[in-house]
Chain A
Amino acid sequence: MEFKLEAHRIVSISLGKIYNSRVQRGGIKLHKNLLVSLVLRSARQVYLSDPCPGLYLAGHPGAPAPPQQPEESAAGPPAGWGEPPPPAGRAAWPEPEPQPERPAVPEVLRAGDSEPAATVTAAGDTLQGGEAEAPEAAWRRVEGPRETAVGGAGVSGVFPEGPEAARGPCGCPPGDEDKLSAPPASPPVCARKRGAGWVGGGPADCPAPGSTPLKKPRRNSEEQPGGEEEEEEEMETGNVANLISIFGSSFSGLLRKSPGGGREEAEGEESGPEAAEPGQICCDKPVLRDINPWSTAIVAF
């Protein structure tokens, strides 16, 4: 138990350091932030592997969310994840073909979800709110990023090599994995999507982009049809929150390379291993809810 608290504290401190590094004179120090992200990964692993799920399921106030969120989420995890028919249906999807399914996904999920609209606008609640519409947003996002990748001027602020630097040759923005990690709603769905991405059949043919839920709140809060374009634009204008999310996601490679056995399939510092050990899933949401205040704070800037 104390390990969990200690780990959580370290995660908070680490996020604070990454956040403060934005305003440091002389630009972001790659070495220091790399080390901080290593600590973040270690703390996160300890946090997630410490078996005491009961503590946080009672409903942490966390970020600004509709009051019914905590209960919904508390009761939600099993229901939300097991619930949507789509997962069953999705199992039949051919891997490298996300597009055809796109129209179908949102409808099905929306139908299955209890509170799509309300959750959507909750800026702070990344995963709770995003359960239903995150995959939906994810699907849309999969297409979008390619343009932003090239034009991501904001990225260059972080890694001063030019727009493509933080993206790698494939041009996949960190956002990609975000959708894939939409997780709590439908793990099988996510696994499928991620599979597509990993296999290389994804639209951007992106090998291993990372992401961070830090982007999710923003996306969720702009859940209009034009939301996607807005986001791309934000990335290109070098939105500060973007820098954090991009920067954070750029080290998600470390998070993926967990010694616990190859790919942990974790797309961000704060998103749990969605397709991974089912035994841990019940911890994920509480964990994420705990960390939400931080992501909210960072995104707010």
Chain B
Amino acid sequence: MNYPDEITYGNKADIISTVEFNHTGELLATGDKGGRVVIFQREQESKNQVHRRGEYNVYSTFQSHEPEFDYLKSLEIEEKINKIRWLPQQNAAYFLLSTNDKTVKLWKVSERDKRPEGYNLKDEEGRLRDPATITTLRVPVLRPMDLMVEATPRRVFANAHTYHINSISVNSDYETYMSADDLRINLWNFEITNQSFNIVDIKPANMEELTEVITAAEFHPHHCNTFVYSSSKGTIRLCDMRASALCDRHTKFFEEPEDPSNRSFFSEIISSISDVKFSHSGRCIMTRDYLTVKVWDLNMENRPVETYQVHDYLRSKLCSLYENDCIFDKFECVWNGSDSVIMTGSYNNFFRMFDRNTKRDVTLEASRENSKPRAILKPRKVCVGGKRRKDEISVDSLDFSKKILHTAWHPSENIIAVAATNNLYIFQDKVN
């Protein structure tokens, strides 16, 4: 196995930490370890070039979060962007939420293609004019200028989380959103930054009795009173905010009994859920733990309806993966627009897609060699033992420093964004 002692990413601040399409798929946002947000925009398909699918180009770049230091607790707060979530578009401007470990920010991204000219009190360079020299008045007019995209922080939601924020989720009412840390979930109103409601609190009275933490949370796509949160014990709780103000008692509890034959020192770690996502229909949820992706029907709590093995060949390597910390990697998972295919990442820059209808799966690789324009991705295969075929790669040759934790799928088309350390790959389905 490849365990490089020193992992060189180039610039560590460039490591992508989150990827998210907006609701139309026109924009794609990425956040990185350095606190930056880069937004890509799909170029409009022109009538002249119908065969050329819209490509994504950089639209805006801004510094969302800076490193902070909490002097009271002697803690440094990382600027790494943990999550980005878009708000649905309601006017010409775009709005997104970005969060680091402690603070959520609402950003407005807007275009400016005109600027006012003809001020009375300022000259063209902006210097103030002496009012005594002004003899006539004129009305400033808007004149065209080169397109400028500017991002401004509209709200800062701070000081509400003692532990590290792992999730944010916009409610379907578009007025509220939630932020979740290891032990608590808070509900915010977009307009109010100095208050939030605590809706889930699993902190035990005695911290020494702590046995599980919240790992991810998401609102139901249509029902604004419903949300789910996953735990480090491999369970998912569905809560209804109408039931009580503090949703410590769940409405539904999803858990699969453990398979005793698979028990090991690391059983608990690999059952910890790293991501939970509602399907677009709202009828299912998908969870990712270290080795599998599971699809659950909201009406069946005692076991998932589908389980997909992402990289089961790692099951015998858990001790080594524990040693090099890979076992703590938090992979995300995504649905395609029609909820028929699910996708998640793995190591060696591999990512996997599972077709729920045909039960077929494919392993693809995000690498420079494969990513020449119009190159078709070739399915990859990991050889788990015995004779290795020509195109296969053996488990021991996998590069564990190349991990795909974050992927995104366009809401309606077969376009995917895959973050491989500090590179972003965008793949599109070939046009027939």
User: Chain A: residues with CB nearer than 8 A to chain B?
Assistant: 6-7, 10, 13, 17, 25-27, 29-32, 34-35, 38-39, 42-43, 46, 156-157, 159-161, 165-170, 174, 207-210, 238, 249-254, 257
Contact = CB atoms under 8 A, between A and B. Distances in A.
Contact of A168 (B75, B207, B213, B215): B207
Interface string B180-223: 00110000000000000000000001111111110100000000
Nearest to B101: A26
Contact of A25 (B76, B208, B213): B76
B78 interface: yes
B389 to A, nearest CB: 33
Nearest to A257: B211
Contacts of B163: 30, 160
B169 to A, nearest CB: 18
Contact of A38 (B166, B182, B268, B328): B268
A231 B156 CA distance: 41
A209 B204 CA distance: 13
Interface string B153-193: 00000000011101000000000000000110000000000
Nearest to A238: B74
A61 B232 CA distance: 39
B164 A30 contact: yes
A87 B206 CA distance: 31
B206 A207 contact: yes
A27 B207 contact: no
A43 B264 CA distance: 10
B208 A39 contact: no
23 contacts: A10-B319, A10-B322, A13-B322, A25-B76, A26-B76, A26-B164, A27-B164, A30-B164, A31-B164, A34-B212, A34-B232, A35-B269, A35-B328, A157-B73, A160-B70, A160-B73, A165-B207, A167-B206, A168-B205, A208-B208, A208-B209, A251-B208, A253-B210
Nearest to B264: A42
A251 B210 contact: yes
Contact of A27 (B76, B209, B266, B269): B76
A43 B101 CA distance: 31
B265 A43 contact: yes
B207 A39 contact: no
A35 B268 contact: yes
Contacts of B74: 157, 238
Contacts of A161: 162
B206 A42 contact: no
A39 B269 CA distance: 8
Given A160-B73, A160-B75, A208-B209, A39 B266 contact: yes
A26 to B, nearest CB: 4
Given A38-B269, A161-B162, A253 B209 contact: yes
A165 B73 CA distance: 13
A157 B75 contact: yes
Given A27-B76, A207-B206, A254-B210, 13 more contacts: A26-B75, A26-B80, A31-B272, A34-B212, A35-B272, A35-B328, A39-B265, A160-B163, A168-B208, A238-B74, A251-B210, A252-B208, A253-B211
B322 A174 contact: no
Contact of A13 (B182, B205, B323, B328): B323
Contacts of A157: 73-75
Given A10-B319, A157-B75, A34 B207 contact: no
Given A34-B232, A35-B272, A38-B268, A250 B77 contact: no
Contacts of A169: 205-206
Contacts of B208: 166, 168, 174, 208-210, 249-253
B265 A42 contact: yes
A38 B210 CA distance: 11
Contacts of A25: 76, 78
B213 A34 contact: yes
A166 B206 CA distance: 7
A269 to B, nearest CB: 12
A253 B232 contact: no
Contacts of B323: 13
Contact of A250 (B205, B207, B212): B207
A158 to B, nearest CB: 9
A29 B164 contact: yes
Contacts of B70: 160
A242 to B, nearest CB: 13
Contacts of A31: 164, 166, 182, 213, 215, 232, 272
Interface pairs A-B: 9 shortest CB-CB: A168-B206, A26-B78, A253-B209, A253-B208, A27-B75, A38-B268, A30-B182, A210-B208, A160-B73
Nearest to B80: A26
B126 to A, nearest CB: 41
Nearest to A31: B213
A253 B206 contact: yes
Contacts of A6: 319
A168 B319 CA distance: 34
A266 B328 CA distance: 27
A42 B268 contact: yes
B210 A34 contact: yes
B130 to A, nearest CB: 53
Given A46-B265, A160-B75, A254-B211, A39 B206 contact: no
Nearest to A170: B206
Nearest to B74: A157
Contacts of B72: 156
Interface string B40-80: 00000000000000000000000000000010111111101
Contacts of A26: 75-78, 80, 101, 164
Interface in B73-94: 73-78, 80
A26 B74 CA distance: 10
A157 B211 CA distance: 20
Contacts of B75: 26-27, 157, 160
B322 A208 contact: no
A167 B204 CA distance: 11
Contacts of A156: 72-73
Interface string B124-142: 0000000000000000000
Contact of B207 (A10, A42, A166, A257): A166
Contacts of A165: 207
Nearest to A174: B208
A31 B205 CA distance: 18
A253 B73 CA distance: 24
Contact of B268 (A39, A168, A207, A209): A39
Nearest to B268: A38
A15 to B, nearest CB: 13
Interface in B104-154: none
